[in-house]
Amino acid sequence: MSALLKRPWIWSFVAAAVVFITTIVFTGGASTVGLAQAALTFAAFSILVGLGQMLVITLGPGNIDLSVPANMTLAGTVALKVMNVDNGTILIGLLVAVLIGIAIGIGNYALIKLLRIPPIIATLSMSFIIQSTAIWTNRGLRIKPPSVLADFTTASTLGVPNVAIVALMLSLIVWFVLNKTVYGRWIAAIGQSIKAARMTGIPIDGTRLATYVICAVLAAVCGYLLASFSGGAALNMGTEYLLMSIAVVVIGGTAVAGGNSNVPGIWGASLFMFLVVSMLNTYGFGAGVRLILTGLIIIAVIMLPSARPLDKR
């Protein structure tokens, strides 16, 4: 138990469990199953963008991708237009979303490398370009997703939402890559000391480029699934995921200074964030009070593990 409590990701799950139990007690247990399924469903989207943001943040101080919301919007919009409500084009739509993510990831790192500007400025600038493209592509239309895809994203398998299953599969892949591959060790090494990593012969630029591309692809896939789940793409569909993608990384125990990632923590933090909003809605708090209390709770969860030594694994 002592070793478990030293792991930074455990506190996000503890916080999520406390909020879940509190909400269930308040509602008399009537919404237990429904709340659990809703939490898994909506947390899945935060997990997808959080995984990508986690990889970028692991690269070290200053690395962050602010183009995530615009990326989601463009990928979802274009994918739905390409599929055009045709069930036979679902995989084509997914491929289009992935290609958009690859292009955005390359564009982000091109601005960072060639123009030598900080990632936060480069990705923010790219987000304006992407959002403008999404507006031009959307033109006020709300195209519906193919019925099979819409049914898949809103349905469950053995009681578990399908989007949560997709998020779990991608989480396992990311965990494997980080912990069992050379690329994963390269990311950690660059985040711990880019100078030392360069001296050991690690391909810095190639690794960073691949990381920004993976982050963008995960955001694009999230936009593809979210647009299908929501019944269509909207120009503001990715807005809430800008700060959310960063918050779940920080709350989940990933080191903001880089060099240390935490896949399990992304799950705990994403569930926690959804349950907090759900609990405050249950108690009837207004939007302003919800934002204040949510911010205070996030600070408390971040400060809790910092009071004791942590196992970096």
List the domain boundaries for the chain: 2-306
Q: Is the dihedral of CA 289, 14, 61, 121 positive or negative?
A: negative
CA atoms of 248 and 199, how far apart (whole Å): 33
pLDDT of residue 152: 95
* Range list of H helices, the chain: 2-5, 10-27, 32-58, 68-83, 90-114, 119-138, 147-154, 162-180, 182-192, 194-199, 204-230, 241-251, 263-282, 287-306
3-state DSSP call for residue 252? Answer: coil
Task: Convert the pLDDT of each residue in 66-100 to its tens digit.
Answer: 999 999 999 999 999 999 889 999 999 999 999 99
Judged against a pLDDT cut of 70, whether residue 4 lies above it is answered with: no
Give 87's DSSP letter: G
> Which fold would CATH assign to domain 2-306?
ABC transporter involved in vitamin B12 uptake, BtuC (1.10.3470)
Give 243's DSSP letter: H
Q: What is the CA radius of gyration of the chain?
A: 19
pLDDT of residue 313: 42
Question: Which residues, other chains included, contact 281 with Cβ-Cβ below 8 Å and sequence gap of 6+?
Answer: 290
Q: Which residues pair with 160 in a beta bridge?
A: 157
Kind of pairing, strands 160-161 and 156-157? antiparallel
Judged against a pLDDT cut of 80, whether residue 252 lies above it is answered with: yes
| Contact (CB, 8 A) for 129 and 67 | no
pLDDT of residue 308: 46
Confidence of residue 312 (pLDDT cuts 50, 70, 90): very low
